[in-house]
Amino acid sequence: MKPVRKAVFPVAGLGTRFLPATKAMAKEMLTVVDKPLIQYAVEEAKEAGIEQMIFVTGRGKGALEDHFDISFELEATMRARGKSLQPLESTRFTPGAIVSVRQQEPLGLGHAVWCAREIVGDEPFAVLLPDDLMYGKPGCLRQMVDAYQKVGGNIICVEEVAREKTSSYGIITPGRSEGRLTEVTGLVEKPKPEEAPSTLGVIGRYILQPEIMRVLDNPRKGAGGEIQLTDAMAEVIGQQPFHGVTVDAVRYDCGDKAGFITANLALALDRDDVAPAVRAFIADLR
C-alpha cells in the first residue's frame, strides 16, 4: 500500500459569506485565536505524515503563499529588537514542501482537486478543506491515515448531521459498519432532507486514490451546476474499497459566521494564555 505523502488544499474560494472581511483578504487567512485557518489544516496534514502541501489557489490568494514563506523584513526587524522568532517557526517549510497551482475558473470542488493532478501523480493523496477546522488529538487526518493503513482504498471523514441540514453536505449511503468505519455504498451531493439516503454527512477531509483524477478528466456538472468531488467519488464506489470514518475530533464549520466565532471561543478557552480573560468575560455576561 502506497503511503499518503501529498495533500491538496482547495483554497480558491471567494469567501463571499464573510464579506466585507474577505474582499481583499483570502478567507483561509481568517484567524482563529492567533493562527489563520489554512495553518490549522497544514499543521494537521504535517502531523499525519504529509510531506507536500498542494494549494489550489486563485487570483488574490498570494497571502497564503507569503504566510509560509520567509519574511525577511519581519525577521530582520524582530532580530534587531531581540525578539524571539519562535511564533514564526510553525510557518517554516523547506522549498518544495508547499507548492501551488491555480484554479483559473471557479468550476467546483471536483475541478479544484483535478487542477492538482500533475503534482499529485500516481499516488494516493489527501484533500483538506480549511473551512472545516478539526480539533482533536491525534488530529483528524492522522486518525484517517491510521484507518487507511488498515483498509486502504478511499476514506472520507463522516459525521451525523441534522436531517434538515443534508442539503449543505455530501451524504453517504452507509453499508456495513465496524467500529468507527462504515462502508460507503453510495454518495450524493447536497440532497434535500426528504431525499437524503442517510444523515451521515461528509466532512472536508478525504484520502483518495489517484484514479479519481481519471474520472475528473471527463467531468459532469452536478449540484449547483458545479463539478462536484462527491460525484467523482461516487463513480469509483464498487471499483475500490470506500469507507467513511467517524473521528474523535470536534468540527468547527468556519465557513459559517457562527461556526467561526464558536471556534474562536472554544480554542481560546483551551489556551492557557488567553483563557482566563475570555472566561472572565463570559462569566460577566450572565
Distance between CA atoms of residues 286 and 283, nearest Å? 6
List of residues 6+ apart from 242 with CB closer than 8 A: 153, 154, 156, 183, 184, 185, 233, 236
Closest separation in Å from C-beta 154 to ligand G1P: 14
189, 215, 236, 264: which one binds ligand G1P (CB under 6 A): 189
Closest separation in Å from C-beta 163 to ligand G1P: 15
Q: Which is nearer to ligand G1P, 13 or 36 (CB)?
A: 13
Using the rule CB under 6 A, give the single segment among 1-9, 178-186, 200-208, 278-286 that binds ligand G1P.
200-208
Closest separation in Å from C-beta 62 to ligand G1P: 22
Q: Is 230 in the site for ligand G1P (CB under 6 A)?
A: yes
Which residue reads 497571502 in cell numbers? Answer: 63
Q: Which is nearer to ligand G1P, 6 or 131 (CB)?
A: 131
Q: Which amino acid is at 67?
A: H
Q: Is 169 in the site for ligand G1P (CB under 6 A)?
A: yes
Q: How wide is the angle at C-alpha 187 spanned by C-alphas 254 and 194, nearest 5°?
A: 85
Distance between CA atoms of residues 253 and 255, nearest Å? 5
Kindly tell me the burial class for residue 86, based on how many C-beta atoms sit within 10 Å of its own C-beta (0-12, 13-18, 19 or more): exposed
Using the rule CB under 6 A, give the single segment among 144-152, 225-233, 242-250, 261-269 that binds ligand G1P.
225-233
The site map against ligand G1P for 248-267 (x = CB under 6 A) is -------x------------
124, 130, 204, 222: which one binds ligand G1P (CB under 6 A): 204
Closest separation in Å from C-beta 283 to ligand G1P: 33
Closest separation in Å from C-beta 150 to ligand G1P: 24
Contact in structure between 250 and 137 (CB atoms under 8 Å): no
15, 201, 222, 244: which one binds ligand G1P (CB under 6 A): 201
Measured between alpha carbons, how far is residue 165 from residues 23, 58, 134, 136 in Å? Answer: 28, 29, 19, 24
Distance between CA atoms of residues 263 and 251, nearest Å? 9
Using the rule CB under 6 A, give the single segment among 26-34, 119-127, 195-203, 214-222 that binds ligand G1P.
195-203
Using the rule CB under 6 A, give the single segment among 33-41, 62-70, 85-93, 227-235 that binds ligand G1P.
227-235
Q: Which residue is nearest to ligand G1P (CB)?
A: 170
C-alpha cell at 160: 451525523
The phi and psi torsions of 59 (rounded to 5 degrees) equal -60, 140
Closest separation in Å from C-beta 59 to ligand G1P: 19
| Sequence-ordered strand ranges (E) for the chain | 6-10, 31-32, 35-36, 52-57, 98-102, 125-128, 132-135, 154-160, 170-178, 181-189, 200-208, 242-245, 250-253
50, 129, 141, 155: which one binds ligand G1P (CB under 6 A): 129
Per CB under 6 A, residues contacting ligand G1P are 109, 129, 132, 169-170, 189, 201-204, 228-230, 255
